[in-house]
A = this chain, B = another copy of it.
Amino acid sequence: MIRGIYIGRFQPPHLGHVYAITKVLDEVNELIIGVGSAQISHTLDNPFTAGERLLMLRLALMEYNIDLCKVYIVPIPDIGMNYVWVKYVSMLVPPFHIAYSNNPLVLRLFKEAGYLVKRIPMYDRSKYSGKLIRKLMLTGGPWEKLVPKSVASFIKEIGGVERLREISGSDEVI
């Protein structure tokens, strides 16, 4: 039984994430999805709470018929000590064998800790990026098609776009 881990901030979860999760699940029996910077929300780079991100990830997985029995979704608050971070993560999640990431620091930290690391297969990264989606939300651009339908609905239901705009100091579409 092989278990993998994939840590992101998922601000918000988008179709690139869904693609990556699907691809990784072809390689492992179970996947831990770590929701990083779990204590942060209500900032321009991190508008959603860990709980909201947990829920959106679940919605996305269900929309794309990904078997929830094969997935753990776990919030990971920051610890502020890179050298200790992998051990701290492994305290919060079930044992795992492969770490998936495209973040150079994350890859390095898991490698130094003795884990097998793999790059994550990404689908059209220039388009499916949290940064771009948050920018489109702020400027009134078409962000909805970049995320699962259920995620778009949830974000609208909780007024996520208004939250981002208010935090940015403007509720006007620029």
Question: Closest B-chain residue to A171, C-beta based?
Answer: B104
Bound CA span A91–B104, Å: 20
Question: Closest B-chain residue to A94, C-beta based?
Answer: B55
Given contacts A51-B93, A51-B94, contact A40 B81 (CB under 8 A): yes
A92 partner, pick from B43, B51, B58, B104, beta carbons under 8 A: B51
Given contacts A50-B92, A83-B91, A108-B163, contact A77 B74 (CB under 8 A): no
Q: Does A153 lie at the interface of the complex (its beta carbon under 8 Å from any beta carbon of B)?
A: no
Q: Does A25 lie at the interface of the complex (its beta carbon under 8 Å from any beta carbon of B)?
A: no
In the A-B complex, the 4 residue pairs with the smallest Cβ-Cβ separation, listed nearest first, are A42-B82, A55-B94, A87-B87, A83-B91
Distance between A33 CB and nearest chain B CB, rounded to angstroms? 12
Q: Which residues from 23 to 70 on chain A have a C-beta closer than 8 Å to any C-beta of chain B?
A: 38-43, 49-52, 54-55, 58, 62, 68-69
